[in-house]
Structure formats: structure tokens, C-alpha cells
Amino acid sequence: MNLVLNEEETMIKDAANDFLFENAGPDHLRNLRDDPDSKGFSVSLWGQMIDLGWPSLLVPEEFGGLDFSNVGMGQIMQQVGCHLATSPLLITGILGVTLLKNSSSNHWKAKILPLIAQGKTKMAIAIDETSRHDPQVIQTKLTPKAGEYVLNGTKLNVVDGQVADSFIVIAKIPSEKPKETDDICFVIVDSNQQGISVKNNLLIDSRKTSSLIFSDVKVTDKQILKFNESSESILQKLLSTANIYLSAELLGIAEKAFELTMQYLKTRSQFGVKIGSFQALQHRSANLWAEIELGKSIVLKALRSLDEMDQDINKIASMAKAKTSKIAENATNEGIQMHGGIGMTDEFYIGFYLKRAKVSQLLFGDWKYHLDRAAYLSGY
Amino acid sequence: MTNLSLFRESTRSWLADNCPKSMREPMLEKDICRGGRNHIFQSNDQKIWLDRMASKGWTAPTWPIEFGGAGLCKEQAKVLREELIAIEARPPVSGMGISMIGPAILEFGSETLKKQHLPAMARGEIRWCQGYSEPNSGSDLAGLQTKAENFGDHLIVNGQKVWTSYGDDADWMFCLVRTNTDVGKHSGISLVLFDMETKGVTTRPIQLISGTSQFCETYLDDVRVEIDQIVGEIDAGWTVAKYLLTHEREALGKMGSSPVERSIKEQAITCLDLTNGRLNDEVIRKELIDWEIDYFCHQLTSERVNAEIASSGVGNTSAMLKYYGTELNKRKYELLISIHGSESMHWEDNPVSRQWLRSKGNSIEGGTSEIQLNIIAKRILGLG
Ligand SMILES: Cc1cc2nc3c(=O)[nH]c(=O)nc-3n(C[C@H](O)[C@H](O)[C@H](O)COP(=O)(O)OP(=O)(O)OC[C@H]3O[C@@H](n4cnc5c(N)ncnc54)[C@H](O)[C@@H]3O)c2cc1C
């Protein structure tokens, strides 16, 4: 496996960096936070991303996309982390596309994928029902009723739920084989459908999520996404994809927080010398740098494994998420500490990185969750 | 089929035919073949394996054929490495020749030195030791005092070296000496080679905490070294010494990646057992997966960094790989002690105790962890 970026991948990384350097970053995030009408992401930035074709990158050519690689898209996510960019790219442009691409429901593919590619629709994926991520706990239920179904249940922490045009909801459904435990399935519902209530939460990093309550929402058989694989395995792979991209984002956050900190160590003086000359800080910095180098390797490995459909993808994803969560935690915490008092101020940048890092760590399973999952998948 | 996959195929079948079965079994410290004049082969297989690999040039695969190598490119060498790992083959010969002084001679040495030393090294006939550290210069290596006086066609060396690993078993030493005292401390150093049987060389073994005596004090009293045994220019040995150190760090950075040991995970499962697929000790389970992730990341990083060096020629990362790899190895043995419990304290019949003790030296030898962190902070991060 090649652990070096090829020319095309390097180009997209540089282009994403240049673009986001101009159009995102902590100052933009602060403006978003202070905007009373904020939707939890930057509408103008999303518009620009659409113009650049980012939501179409992973969409297959037959549906109007560019069929680009995950390694390529991963470079963008890493830069999204570096520049704290807020947009529906992860959920709609990456997870929504991945899920639909893998589905065998041609109707939905033909209907939604082109819309995503053109930036004309936003989705949300409703998985978690517990405050601590645990996809084994699904109580939201599809119950057969008069030849159709009704959907009931509550979903928490649904990213982009506040702006989505449609939701993909993970729900239990009675097994087709009698006496067996319920299966899970993926249901597509329009966000305007009767019986859905949406309550928004503002997060520490100025993004928004929603709690969704479904009460007797009518669902037809057509609204259940079909796959050629078990829904359980599709869900695991979807979560792995999510966590690999979050790992790329966390790596970007760590890299930038580290860069800011190194700049500060070279400019701030105390005791008549630059604070970067203190060995206590040098060793902690060197250690952090080594950790970030390790993070780069596992993120690239994980993205390539996605492209190559590696059998161990779930294990690699958990390893990547566990590792990058710790690296980002370390880089942002050390960042604050090494800035001293100014690191605690809202005016300074490092705090924005701390907040974003924590949210991305918790999303779809934190360090602890993924250590456990990796151990389990390693056979112990 | 590409050339590389053809090469892989032929390598695989050659190895299948030529690597003796007993050379694919897990090994302990005592099973390592270090070669040299005094080496007693542990088994016929050990000898056959070394001879066959050496005759292919595969003990030093990237060296030119005329110097005992096989002239492989980096990609082919990687394929060979992977195929060796895949069959869990033991290294046919290990030591400071092929991994340290060999590359330095190739880079800086004269034709004479290359012809004289490299082929014998590759065949495992001559075993080398490293005379760098002295009683008063360890981390501050450039402060070394061992003196060499220049008599035109030869040098006379006087001084003391310490921590010379396997000094008493080695055939030749590569040694840092001061050839000029009138210049700055980095400028007057030379790297010289001499036979350990030369008059005036004495070694005295030092016992380690692990009970073995892997290293020695080495006394040099009026030792004659021929002038053509200087690697590179006289007084310009610091550059050679540092080049060699990067190779040493690279080798040490690979620590613990030996494919021939039973994996720590298997040992944990054997000792602790599983219930419903979970290891019967939650704390060890957590430590183990944490370690496995770091280990995996470290291996990937070493792979990535090598690939980057091959593609763009940049890369200043051996300090990081050495630092991280050796710290990981220490963690590994702490973990193994927890896994094996009090059994691992047995001095005679459980190998863990002594390996655990020996691992403490990993973050000291080849430059301490603190020195590696200094190198990263100064050279890579630019912190002054
Ligand atoms: C198992 C083993 C095998 C060895 N084999 C060989 C060999 O074959 N040939 C050979 O030449 N040498 C060998 N060595 C020696 C090794 O290279 C030295 O021990 C090492 O470089 C450290 O030097 P020192 O022991 O003098 O410690 P010191 O340099 O005295 O260091 C003592 C402590 O101070 C710290 N320290 C020193 N300077 C700094 C600084 N600037 N900043 C922060 N901390 C600092 C060190 O990190 C260490 O913790 C071996 C050592 C071991 C343990």
C-alpha cells in the first residue's frame, strides 16, 4: 500500500488549503457564532464548496459526480480541520453519498445523488439514541400497519438535523424470518413529513445538532433503503467511514493547533529568552510532533483502506479514531498550556481548536469507545 | 506482470526452497546469528541459511554485487523484506556491520576499504563493534578524548572506550578518535577501523542488570592503525559518525518489529483467556490495544517515511522513529510482565524477565530519548 500522496491527491490538498485559508478559519467561525440567525454552519462557505464541486467528488459519474477517491476527499477533510470550516460536507457529501452509493435502491440513488452533486439537497443521518455513542442500542422502531409502516422513536445528536431536507433513520424492523430478533434498517423520510419534531442544540464549537422525535410517521416500503449486504454490516461500515473522515479532521485540528503553538514558542519571551528555548517545552513539543507524525500515517492508511475496501476496515477505522482523538486532545491541551493566559481568551485562536476537537472526538464514538471496538475486532 | 511482481514471485519460491524450516521458528536472544571469526553455528541449518542468503547477496540486498550485495533497488529490497516477514524467517545474520558501518563505508569509504571490508561483512565472516562512547562523553559524543597521533602512514591511538557492545566477541572496531586538538570539538574527529586483535587493545566485560555481559570497557594503548583505515577524510569523521548514527537509529527504531517473536496479543490470550471474545482483564486489555495501536502507527510511519525519502529525498525522522520505537519496546515488556504475572520474575526459565531488563537500555543506547527529543526540537521544529 502506498503511504505517499500522489500528484493528484497533493494538488487537491493544496487547493483545499488555499481556498479554506481565504474563506474559513477561526475568525469566520467567531462570526458564525455571533450571528443570531446562524444555521450551525456557514451558508456562504457551503455555497462556495458547491461551486468548487466538493459535494460531487464522491458521487459516481453516472449520477453527475466525479467519482473521486476517499484519499482525495480525506485531504479536504484534513484541511477542514485545519481551518475549522463548518459545512454539511461530512454528513451529506461524504456519509450520505457513501450510503446511497452502496445501496441497491436505484430509485433513491437516481433521485438523491444528482441533487447532492449539485448541492441542491442536505441530509442528516439519525443513528444515536444515547448520549454516549452506542449503535447497539436502537429502539426507534418501524411497525407494520395496514400494508405500510409507522416510525416511532427519538434520535439524539443528529448533525445537520436542523437544516436537512431528508433524514436517514436507523430503525428496528421485525425480522422477515419468524422468531428471530429484529433487524435494523435505513429509512429515508422527508423532513417535512407529518409527525417529526426537531429540537436544535447549539454545541460548544458553534455547530448545531438536533434531537429528532418521530411519532407515528408514515413510511412506505419504498422508503426503506435496500442493500446487498446485511444492514448491520452496512451500518458498521458507514460508522467506520465517518470515523475515518473525523480522524482526518482531528489530524488537521492537531496540526494547526501545534503550528500555532510552535509560532508562539518562537515569539514569546520570558526571562529574557524565547520560551521555545526551555527544554521542558521543547521535549513536550517534540513528543507531540512525533505523535502527529504517527497520526498522519494512520489517517492515510485508513483512507487508502477505504478505497481498497480492506477487510479490516472497521478495525483500522477504530484505531485511527482512537489515535487521532488522543493526538488532538493532546495538541489542543498543550496548545492552551504553552500559550499561558492568552490561551484562555476568546480573542485568541487556540480555544476554537480545543472546542472543535472535543466535538469531533465525541461524534460517533470517542477514544474509549474506539479502543474497545478495536480490541474486540482484534479478537480480544 | 510488472517486474516487481515477477521479482516477488521468484523471491517467494526461492525462499520456500531455501529457508530451512528451523529458521522460521520463533527465536530468543541466544538464537541470533551474529557471525564473525569466533561464531559457533548453533545448528547446521543456521549455517546453511547464512551461506545461501549470502551467496544471493541478500544479507545486504541493496549493496552493489561486487561488494557482496545483490544490487537491489529500494522497492525490490522492500519486497524481499516483506517476503522474509511473511514466512517468519530469522535474519540470517545481524550486527553492527551490515546495519551500521557497512553503509558508512559505502557512502564515505575508499575503494580499498569497500573491497576489504564489505564482502566479508555481508558473508557474516567479520563481526564489528562500535567504539563511540567514552567514560566522559556519552550524550556529548563530540567531547571524546581518545587521541590519535599521525605518523604519516599510520596513527597511534590511546584512550578508553566504554559500553562497547560485544567488544569481547567482535573482530573489528569502528572507532571515533581525536586526530586534531587545535580546532573546534566537532572538527578534529576521525572514524577509524582496526582489528580487535591488534596489540594494545584490551576489553573488559561489564555485567548488565539482565545478567549477561553484552558490553565492555575497551582500553586502547598505543594501538597502531594504518592510515588507509580512516573512513572519509582525516578530521572529517563527525559527518561520517552522524551518518552512521542515523543508520543506528533506524535499526533501533525497528525494535520490537521482529516477526519471529510470538505476538504479545497471542501471549495475552494464552495467559489470560477470553470470555465471550473479551480478554479476562479489562485493564490489560485496554493497555494492550493502546499499545497495539501505537505500534501499528509506528510501523506505518516508518513505512511512510521510507517511501517519502525514496520519492523526494527529504526525511529527518530517524530520531523520531528511534525515540518512539524504543519507548514502545519498553512499554511492551512492562505489559508482558503484567500478562505473565509472577512467572515473569523467574530468572532462569522465563525469558521475559531478562528481556524486560535489557529493554531499559533501548532508550539509552544509540543516543538517549532525551537527545532524540533535543534533535527533533532543534533540527525539525527550529526551537532554539
Ligand atoms: C545497552 C547499551 C549498549 C550500548 N552499546 C554501545 C556501543 O556498542 N558502543 C558505544 O560507543 N556506546 C554504546 N552505548 C553507550 C550509549 O551510546 C550511551 O550510554 C549513551 O549515548 C548515553 O551516554 P551516557 O551513558 O554517558 O549518559 P549521559 O550522557 O551521561 O546521560 C545521562 C542522562 O542525562 C541526560 N542528558 C544528557 N545530556 C542531555 C541534554 N543535553 N539534554 C537533556 N538530557 C540530557 C541523558 O538523556 C540521560 O538521561 C550503549 C549503551 C547501552 C545502554
Q: How confident is the model at residue B263 (pLDDT cuts 50, 70, 90)?
A: confident
Same structural domain for residues A241 and A353?
yes
Q: Which residues of B touch A296 (CB under 8 A)?
A: 301, 304
Beta carbons of B301 and A281 less than 8 Å apart: no
Task: Assess whether A116 and A203 both reside in one domain.
Answer: no
pLDDT of B270 strictly over 80: yes
Residue from the list A283, A372, A378 with its beta carbon closest to the beta carbon of B292? A378
Q: Are residues A199 and A279 in the same domain?
A: no
What distance in Å separates residue A276's CA from the closest CA in chain B? 5
What average pLDDT does this structure show over B124-139?
96
Confidence grade of residue A117 (pLDDT, cut at 50, 70, 90) = very high
A269 in B contact zone (CB under 8 Å): no
Q: How many residues does chain A have?
A: 380
Report pLDDT for B316.
66
Is B277 in Cβ contact with A285 (below 8 Å)? no
Q: How far apart are CA A116 and CA B169, in angstroms?
A: 70
* DSSP, res A365: -
The structural domain count of chain A equals 3
- What residue spans in chain B does CATH classification 1.10.540 cover? 3-94
Q: How many CB pairs under 8 A join A and B?
A: 121
Task: Identify residue B125 by its one-letter amino acid code.
Answer: E
Identify the pLDDT of residue B82: 87
- Half-sphere exposure at residue A117, Cβ-oriented, CA atoms within 13 angstroms: 21
CATH of the domain at A300: 1.20.140.10
Beta-sheet strands, E only, within B14-95: none
A49-53, A336-340, B52-56, B261-265: least confident range: B261-265
Q: Give start and end residues of each alpha helix (H) in B109-223.
A: 111-122
Torsion angle of the four alpha carbons B51, B52, B54, B60, in this order, in degrees rounded to the nearest 10: -140
Strands B172-178 and B128-131, sheet pairing: parallel
Q: CA-to-CA distance for A253 and A5, rounded, in angstroms?
A: 20
Query: Do residue A134 and residue A153 come from a single domain?
Result: yes
Q: What is the pLDDT of residues B158-178, one digit of tens each?
A: 999 999 999 999 999 999 999
Distance from B320 to chain A by nearest Cα, in Å?
6
For chain B, residues classed under CATH 2.40.110.10 are 128-235
> What is the C-alpha separation between B41 and B33, in angstroms, rounded?
8
DSSP secondary structure of B295-339 = HHHHHHHHHHHHHHHHHHS----HHHHHHHHHHHHHHHHHHHHHH
Distance B181 CA to ligand 1 centre (A): 24
Q: Using alpha carbons only, give the angle B191, B194, B195 rounded to the nearest 5 degrees.
A: 155
Atom of ligand 1 nearest to the CA of B368: 47
Which ligand 1 atom sits closest to the C-alpha of B166?
8
More confident residue, B272 or B214: B272
* C-alpha angle A17-A20-A21 in degrees, rounded to nearest 5: 75
- Global pTM exceeds 0.95: no
- As a whole number, mean pLDDT of residues A228-252 equals 97
Domain identity same for A250 and A367: yes
* pLDDT over threshold 90, residue B247: no
Atom 5 (ligand 1) nearest CA: B165
pLDDT band at B154 (very low <50, low <70, confident <90, very high): very high
Query: Which among A206, A223, A240 is the end of a domain?
Result: A223
Query: Which residue carries 477505504 as its cell?
Result: A306
Pairing relation of β-strands A141-145 and A183-190?
Answer: unpaired
Contact assessment for residue A245 and residue A94, using Cβ atoms and an 8 Å cutoff: yes
Alpha-carbon distance B337 to B331, whole Å? 10
How far, CA to CA in Å, does A228 sit from each of A105, A238, A313, B306? 10, 14, 18, 40
Chain A within 8 Å of B314 (Cβ-Cβ)? no
What sign for the dihedral angle of Cα A358, A362, A364, A370? Answer: positive
Per DSSP, the three-state class of A366 is: coil
Asked if residue B106 lies in contact with residue B243, where contact means CB atoms within 8 angstroms, the answer is no
A286 touches chain B (CB under 8 A): yes
Q: What is the pLDDT of residues A272-302, one digit of tens each?
A: 999 999 999 999 999 999 999 999 999 999 9
Residue B27: its pLDDT value, please? 83
Please report which confidence band the pLDDT of residue B315 belongs to, taking 50, 70 and 90 as the band edges.
low
B266 shares contact with chain A (CB less than 8 Å): no
State mean pLDDT over A22-40.
94
Residue A293 lies in a domain: yes
**Residue of B313 and B317 predicted with greater confidence:** B317
Q: Which helix (H) or strand (E) holds A339?
A: helix A313-339
Alpha helices in B173-257 (DSSP H): 237-253
What is the ipTM metric for this complex? 0.95
The CATH architecture of the domain made up of B3-94 is Orthogonal Bundle (1.10)
Give pLDDT, residue B309: 77
pLDDT at residue B311 in the model: 67
**Per the structure block, which three cell numbers stand in for B103?**
553503509
Do residue A141 and residue A61 come from a single domain? no
Distant-in-sequence, close-in-space partners of A88: CB < 8 Å, separation ≥ 6: A41, A46, A122, A123, A160, A163
Q: Which CATH superfamily is domain B128-235 in?
A: Butyryl-CoA Dehydrogenase, subunit A, domain 2 (2.40.110.10)
pLDDT score at B368: 96
Q: Tell me if B297 and A286 make a contact (CB, 8 A cut-off).
A: no
Question: What residues of chain A lie within 8 A of the CB of B367, using their CB?
Answer: none
Name the DSSP class of A268. Answer: -
How close does chain B come to A312, measured CA to CA in Å? Answer: 13
Give the domain CATH number at A208. 2.40.110.10
Instruction: Give the residues surrounding ligand 1 with Cβ less than 6 Å away.
Output: B 129-133, 138-139, 163-165, 215, 361, 364-368, 370-371, 374
Residues A102 and A136 occupy one common structural domain: no
To 10 degrees, what angle do helices A7-23 and A43-52 make? 150
Q: Give the pLDDT confidence score for residue B256 in this predicted structure.
A: 58
Give the model's confidence band at B203: pLDDT under 50 very low, under 70 low, under 90 confident, else very high: very high
A236, A357: one domain: yes
Residue A257: closest CA among A341, A355, A345: A355
Does some domain include residue A2?
no
Question: Domain limits at A53?
Answer: 7-121
- Which CATH number applies to B254-380? 1.20.140.10
Report which of residues B246 and B131 the model is more confident about. B131
The domain boundary residue, chosen from A62, A87, A121: A121
Residues A240 and A216 in one domain: no
Put simply, whether B4 touches A (Cβ < 8 Å) is no
pLDDT classification of A333: cutoffs 50, 70, 90: very high
Q: Report which of A173, A74, A163 is spatially closest to residue A124, judged by C-alpha positions.
A: A163
The alpha carbon dihedral of A92, A98, A101, A104 has a sign of negative
R_g of chain B, CA atoms, integer Å: 22
**Residue B313: what pLDDT?**
57
Are A318 and A243 a contacting pair, CB within 8 Å? yes
User: In this predicted structure, what is the pLDDT of residue A251?
Assistant: 98
Question: Among B320, B317, B318, B323, which Cα is nearest to B364's?
Answer: B323
Host H or E run for residue A154: strand A148-159
Confidence of residue A1 (pLDDT cuts 50, 70, 90): low
Residue A147 covered by a domain? yes
Looking at the structure, tell me whether residues A75 and A99 fall in a common domain.
yes
Sequence letter at residue A153: G
Residue B373 · residue A283 · CB < 8 Å: yes
Span A128-181, pLDDT tens digits: 999 999 999 999 999 999 999 999 999 999 999 999 999 999 999 988 777 677
Q: Do B301 and A285 touch (CB under 8 A)?
A: no
- In eight-state DSSP terms, residue B362 is T
Last residue of a domain, one of A83, A100, A121: A121
* CATH number for the domain that contains residue A12: 1.10.540.10
Neighbours of B252 (CB within 10 A): 22
Residues 153-182 of B with CB under 8 A from A: none
- Residues A243, A373 within the same domain: yes
Domain check: are A351 and A328 in the same one? Answer: yes
The alpha carbons of chain A give a radius of gyration, in whole angstroms, of: 21
Mean pLDDT on A95-123: 97
B314: left (phi over 0), alpha (psi -120 to 50) or beta: beta
Instruction: Return the residue of A nearest to B383 by Cα.
Output: A276
**Is B301 close to A378, i.e. CB distance below 8 A?**
no
Mutational test site, ligand 1, from B248, B365, B372, B383, max ligand atoms within 8 Å of CB = B365
Q: Looking at ligand 1, which atom is closest to the CA of residue B96?
A: 8
CA distance B156 to chain A (A): 40
Do the beta carbons of residue A177 and residue A164 sit within 8 Å? no
Chain mean pLDDT for chain B: 93
**Residue A1 domain-assigned (yes or no):** no
- At B344-358, the pLDDT tens digits run 888 887 788 888 999
Q: How far apart are CA B262 and CA B19, in angstroms?
A: 19
Nearest neighbour of A285 by CB, restricted to B288, B289, B377: B377
Name the band, by pLDDT with cuts 50, 70 and 90, for residue B85.
confident
Tell me the pLDDT tens digit for each residue of A172-212.
998 877 767 789 999 999 999 999 999 999 999 999 999 99
Cell numbers placing A313: 476496515
